[in-house]
Amino acid sequence: MKPAMETAAEENTEQSQERKVNSRAEMEICRNHWMYLGSKNHQYSPLPTEGKRLNPLSHPGCFECCIKCLGGVPYASLVATILCFSGVALFCGCGHMALAGTVAILEQHFSTSTSDHTLFSEVIQLMQYVIYGIASFFFLYGIILLAEGFYTTSTVKELHVEFKTSACGRCISAMFVFLTYVLGVAWLGVFGFSTMPVFMFYNIWSTCEVINSLQTNGTAAVEQICVDIRQYGIIPWNAFPGKICGSTLENICNTSEFYMSYLLYIVACAGAGATVIALIHFLMILSSNWAYLKDASKMQAYQDIKAKEEQELQDIQSRLKEQLNSYT
């Protein structure tokens, strides 16, 4: 009996030792597993030394994010928007002030009767209201075109893979192309119209320069040099005086109102030219974006057809495997 009891005790001790070993192995495996997860979720970097300091942009994730954000900006649309805003602001602001100065010069020197320039004053007031409308419209239109440039940039589509084009989006892009073309043609007319007051003021200024040169040379035929503002169609032919000659004309040219109006008309004309360039730039951008959307829609249709064919091929292969399995 004694040897049997000893063998049973030995077996019990061996089993208990095996259990301890197994439990220790399981605990070691769990500890290594949690240490691996902790090291995966929390990756600590060594502290920077005195010669190597921590740079916020040195982290690759932040740097790549900044590069992607900067790459998603439509720089062409941004430049065109800034140019359009600058041109419209110069044209509207300087044109409004120049028109007010023109009315003041006309009332003080070329037309003493109010009835002679009533129509011209009403037209000037109407043009000033039109300038307010132009400024408001192009402010909104420029923002819309800039937003359209953001949403049709190829880099933005690479960031947002799920972005898909639609027929409505392509129609909106085509509408913007047509509207920008019409506005560009209209601004060409505005630019041509803005050169007319520049030409008129230049003629008056050049006449004053001739008078100054004759006075310096001692010529007495200064009073015979005149400027008739009625020939430009601003006031009727029966307006009085309508024509200014000699030293009186020179005094008009020396006034601050004349000089400031002349410069403002030049700046307004330059602003109209800048707006035309901006609209041409927008037209090129919108045309390229519309072509890109059209190609993207074709590529999208091709990918849908390809995915459908691959799905059908997988279904056929799965059916064949099922039939082979049923035969075997």
Token output for 3: 């040897």
CB 296 within 8 A of CB 157: yes
Token output for 99: 């028109």
Model confidence over 58-78: pLDDT tens digits?
Answer: 455 677 777 766 666 788 888
Environment class of 221 (CB within 10 Å of its CB; exposed 0-12, middle 13-18, buried 19+):
exposed
pLDDT at 283 (0 to 100):
92
Number of Cβ within a 10 Å radius of residue 134: 17
What's the alpha-carbon Rg for the chain, to the nearest Å? 41
CA angle 92, 106, 122 (to 5 degrees): 55
Q: Of 110, 125, 122, 118, which is closest to residue 231 (Cα–Cα)? A: 110
Run of H or E including 292: helix 256-327
Model confidence over 43-52: pLDDT tens digits?
Answer: 444 444 444 4
> CA–CA separation, 83 vs 293, rounded Å?
25
Tell me the β-bridge partners of 318: none
pLDDT at 102 over 50: yes
Q: In the chain, where are the structural domains located?
A: 74-303
> CA–CA separation, 188 vs 214, rounded Å?
39
Give percent of the chain above pLDDT 90. 29
CB 319 within 8 A of CB 179: no
CB 291 within 8 A of CB 174: no
Helices 75-105 and 256-327, axial angle in degrees (round to 10):
160
Instruction: Kindly list the distances between the CA atom of residue 169 and the CA atoms of 145, 234, 260, in Å, as whole numbers in the listed order.
Output: 13, 48, 47
Q: Is the pTM value of this prediction over 0.75?
A: no
> Residue 57 — very low, low, confident or very high, per pLDDT cuts 50/70/90?
very low
Cβ-Cβ contacts under 8 Å for 191 (sequence gap 6 or more)? 269, 272, 273, 275, 276
CB 138 within 8 A of CB 282: no
Model confidence over 167-176: pLDDT tens digits?
Answer: 676 788 888 8
> CA–CA separation, 105 vs 157, rounded Å?
57
Could you check whether the bond before residue 74 is cis, i.e. omega within 30 degrees of 0?
A: no
